[in-house]
Structure 1
Amino acid sequence: MVERLVVIGGDAAGASAASQARQRRGPDDLEIVVLERGRHTSYSACGVPYWVGGLVSGADALVARAPEAHRERGLDVRLGSEAEGIDLDKREVAVRDVHTGAADRIGFDQLVIATGATPVRPPVPGIDAPGVYGVQTLDDGQALIDALDPAYTHAVVIGGGYIGIEMAEAMKLRGLDVTVLDRGAQPMSTLDPDMGVLVHEQMEEMGINVVTHADVRAVETGPDGRVRAVATAERSYPADLVVLGTGVRPATGLARDAGLPLGDSGGIRTDLRMRVWGGDPRHEGVWAAGDCVEVLDLVSGRFRHIPLGTHANKQGRVAGMNIGGDYGTFPGVVGTAVSKVCELEIARTGLRESDADAAGFSYVTAVIESTGRAGYYPGAQRMTVKMIAERVSGRLLGVQIVGRDGAAKRIDVAAVALTARMTVEDVTALDLGYAPPFSPVWDPILVAARKAAQRLAQS
């Protein structure tokens, strides 16, 4: 008898799960139905800011595999189909056609929940006014591009995280005066404040106005109902466009309503194989992957919600492998992420000081300045590296980098060291590549590790 796999969500995690299951099980053995409420599948949401900024030619460039390509591979992809409920007793998903409103129920033997995350919208007056845009999907990006008008002069970005700073760059590339309003002490709260201030200062040097401790009170509108300014507790900032960069939360309404287990951060809790399991036999055959799930932080040992496309693709692949009869696990993450705003590169992995405090670590920190190439080589530019190490053991706990000229990808060395649970003394001995166009004799990562080791010896 043919089994049916229903996948809720057709982007990174869902499409990966469906594709991997199909590679291992043919249509005579497994029917695969993918429910996607939007118009696209398998696209890079991370690329939307660069498309909006004019660095990417169009939406098609961000699509890794269109619905038609998935269908050619034996997946029943149903666009405009929104899942509205999961009945674990009847093994059915309630579905609504977003265009016609027609309702249907689809039975399943296996189920993958890949519902992603939803943008956080500040609960202030005017937040839904015309001229306010999120940038979660390709349709969001298209709507913002369509709204751009040569007469516009001012854009306000609410939020100074990854999406916020990337959209600030996009608006600047479009020729607008840009103000970023962030409620934190510094932009990029995924960094410690002493590193975030470097981002703040250099964004200001680029001509982007960054306002911290900004308590947004309202999006003000004109007589036509369209946005004209964003008001904080201190003043109003003129705006022809407002872009939301206030982060996301896991989209787990379906899972919660079905009684599936959620973790402390609100994400779906799975095991290493991406199975949803809360001790209830009805959970058998239910899987989850992507931005809707929690992940194990391999450094702190805690579960966290870290919505990144890298994780989503890997988790979807693991779920699909297991559904297909193979064996795979997703062991966890160390929290590696990179971003940029204009020429400035920003990277982090592992724990911040606040994370280390919350996890109960006693630690030392080291901050160094170096260059990405030999100092005498043309084009060498400064970068700042911060390293956190556990007191006594010397175990590396986290690294942050702010700089230019290839600074960000140096974080990968630190990510590998964290995964391997190396000490900072171990890191100082790494045999990293050297030539003047690529690095000083002592790579910045090695310099930071050496300084951290010295701090440990003094503590």
Structure 2
Amino acid sequence: MTAQRLVVIGGDAAGMSAASRARRLKTPGELEITAFERGRFSSYSACGIPYWAGGEVDGPGALIARTPEEHRARGIDLRIRTEVTELDVAGQRVLARDLASGEERWHGYDHLVVATGARPVRPPLPGIDARGVHGVQTLDDGQALVDGLEHAPGRRAVIVGAGYIGVETAEALVRRGFGVTVVERAAQPMSTLDPDMGALVRDAMCGMGIEVVTGAEVTEVRTGAGGEVTAVVTDAAEYPADVVVLGLGVRPETTLARAAGLPVGESGGLLTDLAMRVRGHGNIWAGGDCVEVLDLVSGRTRHIALGTHANKHGQVIGSNVGGGYATFPGVVGTAVSKVCELEIGRTGLLEAQATEAGLRFVSATTESTSRAGYYPGARPMTVKMLAERRTGRLLGVQIVGGEGAAKRVDVAAVALTAGMTVEQLTALDLGYAPPFSPVWDPVLMAARRAAAAVAADAKG
């Protein structure tokens, strides 16, 4: 019996989770697995890069879950520094180039996994490729940033973009003793929150000495005589910089897939069925940051780049390639982050997303504390909740506050997945003791106010 051939493009979360799961289900005699990774590392946590840059964790080794050597020892032929440059769907083969030698070779497959990840947004501005300008997407990027911080003469940093990576990196560089300016074109940092909640994040950033510039469009990265970055220029001002970090978000890396004619959605991510099989292609699978996923709240597909999803995608793909059965039903858009002592959590839809989806809603915001108000260490917490008009169906929750705020969003994520109403949410039997929560948990307080808003809207 001839072994089937599985080829994986991408050696990080989705790709290697798929390969590892398939290997557990099929022996090398049943399934040959070859994986290609253009970088130097495999199976790593890119989410840890800001904490490496800030000196809170060691890197890069501490951020690697499994090395290429460990994958090979488990029967997966992982080839690093090898880039797939062409995909021939009709011929069921990929063209791979060894980046060290330049040698190219075609490799046939019976099953193909596309796990090419995402690429950082890098606008075509003058000086954007100057020495000292860094993206934060791979461990190679992280190493370049850490090395650059060691040699920054003036210890001045500008972060372009105030999303998750931007605010986390800003905190990291403050910890390293840098003067930090964050430039964001939106009205508030953290566009993954509604502006009123983003304003709370801005206050916290300013409180730790970060200069936050909003409503500003970057027009140029200025460079010195040696080609090194010296400043970031906006439409209104100029900010000196020895280090620039781009935190403008990411886009699905689907260049290879597009060229091969594979289907992509509105945000540019590959479209798959529930089994993570690329639509219209029975033996091609895709997962991780290069795909779009079903939003269970809005019913639309979205691009959400998170390692949690990527690992689940890989498990689903590997199970199906290995002869089992698994599906990935979708997401509710849960994410957490922190800026110094401020924790940030969100799940479900923002106001703008709900409006775009054609949903009519009410919102409610409550102020509470992380523990009973009389208990030492209680911290302020703000919870915002969106509910559908008439039905009261929970649509989204945002939480900003002190210790204990971020992971409270998990309760809302479960409620969203279950399709609960805010009225049903008020009756949840959550744990209580003064060191952990007020008698009425902040999430339940917000649910009560949202339920009242739904009832008042129905009357009026």
Return the TM-score normalized by structure 2.
Answer: 0.98
- The answer on 1:271 being equivalent to 2:273 is yes
2:77 matched residue in structure 1: 76
Q: Which amino acid aligns with 1:225?
A: G
1:365 matched residue in structure 2: 363
State the alpha-carbon separation in 1 of the partners of residues 265 and 59 from structure 2: 38
In the TM superposition, what whole-angstrom CA distance separates every residue of 1:303-343 from its partner, at most 9, and x where no partner exists? Answer: 00001000000001100000000000000000000011111
In the TM superposition, what whole-angstrom CA distance separates every residue of 1:4-29 from its partner, at most 9, and x where no partner exists? Answer: 00000010000000000000000000
Question: What does 1:429-448 correspond to in 2, within 5 Å?
Answer: 429-448=427-446
1:108 matched residue in structure 2: 109
State the alpha-carbon separation in 2 of the partners of residues 322 and 84 from structure 1: 26
Q: 1:150 to 1:117 in 2, by over 3 A?
A: closer
Question: What does 1:176-215 correspond to in 2, within 5 Å?
Answer: 176-215=178-217
State the alpha-carbon separation in 2 of the partners of residues 206 and 382 from structure 1: 17
1:62 matched residue in structure 2: 63
SS of the residue 2:171 aligns to: helix
Q: Which amino acid aligns with 1:224?
A: G
In the TM superposition, what whole-angstrom CA distance separates every residue of 1:69-91 from its partner, at most 9, and x where no partner exists? Answer: 11111000111110001101111
1:40 matched residue in structure 2: 41
Q: Which amino acid aligns with 1:157?
A: I
State the alpha-carbon separation in 2 of the partners of residues 429 and 318 from structure 1: 34
Q: Which amino acid aligns with 1:177?
A: G
Q: Which amino acid aligns with 1:49?
A: P
Q: Which amino acid aligns with 1:421?
A: G
Q: CA deviation at 1:152?
A: 2.8
Q: CA deviation at 1:112?
A: 0.2
In the TM superposition, what whole-angstrom CA distance separates every residue of 1:260-289 from its partner, at most 9, and x where no partner exists? Answer: 1111111000000000123xxxx2210000
Q: Which moved more, 1:257-266 or 1:7-16?
A: 257-266
In the TM superposition, what whole-angstrom CA distance separates every residue of 1:183-228 from its partner, at most 9, and x where no partner exists? Answer: 1111100101111111111111111111111110100011221111
1:289 matched residue in structure 2: 287
2:94 matched residue in structure 1: 93
In the TM superposition, what whole-angstrom CA distance separates every residue of 1:400-430 from its partner, at most 9, and x where no partner exists? Answer: 0111111000000000000000000111000
SS of the residue 1:246 aligns to: coil
After the TM superposition, which parts of structure 1 deviate over 6 Å for at least 4 consecutive aligned residues? none
**Correspondence for 2:261 among 235, 259, 262:** 259
State the alpha-carbon separation in 2 of the partners of residues 362 and 77 from structure 1: 49
Asked if the contact 2:369/2:378 (under 8 Å) is kept, the reply is: yes
Q: Which amino acid aligns with 2:193?
A: L
- The answer on 1:228 being equivalent to 2:230 is yes
State the alpha-carbon separation in 2 of the partners of residues 188 and 150 from structure 1: 27
Asked if the contact 2:152/2:242 (under 8 Å) is kept, the reply is: no
Q: CA deviation at 1:100?
A: 1.5
State the alpha-carbon separation in 1 of the partners of residues 154 and 430 from structure 2: 48
**Correspondence for 1:155 among 146, 154, 157:** 157
Q: CA deviation at 1:150?
A: 6.4
State the alpha-carbon separation in 1 of the partners of residues 155 and 80 from structure 2: 37
RMSD of aligned C-alpha atoms? 0.8
State the alpha-carbon separation in 1 of the partners of residues 92 and 182 from structure 2: 46
2:452 matched residue in structure 1: 454
State the alpha-carbon separation in 2 of the partners of residues 275 and 405 from structure 1: 40
Q: CA deviation at 1:368?
A: 0.4
Q: Which amino acid aligns with 1:189?
A: S
2:166 matched residue in structure 1: 164
State the alpha-carbon separation in 1 of the partners of residues 111 and 347 from structure 2: 35
State the alpha-carbon separation in 2 of the partners of residues 254 and 407 from structure 1: 41
Return the TM-score normalized by structure 1.
Answer: 0.98
Q: Give identity over the alignment, percent.
A: 66
State the alpha-carbon separation in 1 of the partners of residues 100 and 389 from structure 2: 59
State the alpha-carbon separation in 2 of the partners of residues 357 and 270 from structure 1: 26
- The answer on 1:378 being equivalent to 2:379 is no
State the alpha-carbon separation in 2 of the partners of residues 83 and 150 from structure 1: 35
State the alpha-carbon separation in 2 of the partners of residues 228 and 151 from structure 1: 11
Q: Which amino acid aligns with 2:347?
A: T
1:243 matched residue in structure 2: 245
Asked if the contact 2:8/2:113 (under 8 Å) is kept, the reply is: yes
Q: Which amino acid aligns with 1:440?
A: P
Q: CA deviation at 1:58?
A: 2.1
SS of the residue 1:413 aligns to: helix
SS of the residue 1:346 aligns to: strand
Q: CA deviation at 1:157?
A: 0.2
Q: Which amino acid aligns with 1:168?
A: A
Q: Which moved more, 1:148-157 or 1:78-87?
A: 148-157
State the alpha-carbon separation in 2 of the partners of residues 277 and 162 from structure 1: 31
Q: Which amino acid aligns with 1:21?
A: A
1:325 matched residue in structure 2: 323
State the alpha-carbon separation in 2 of the partners of residues 419 and 89 from structure 1: 39
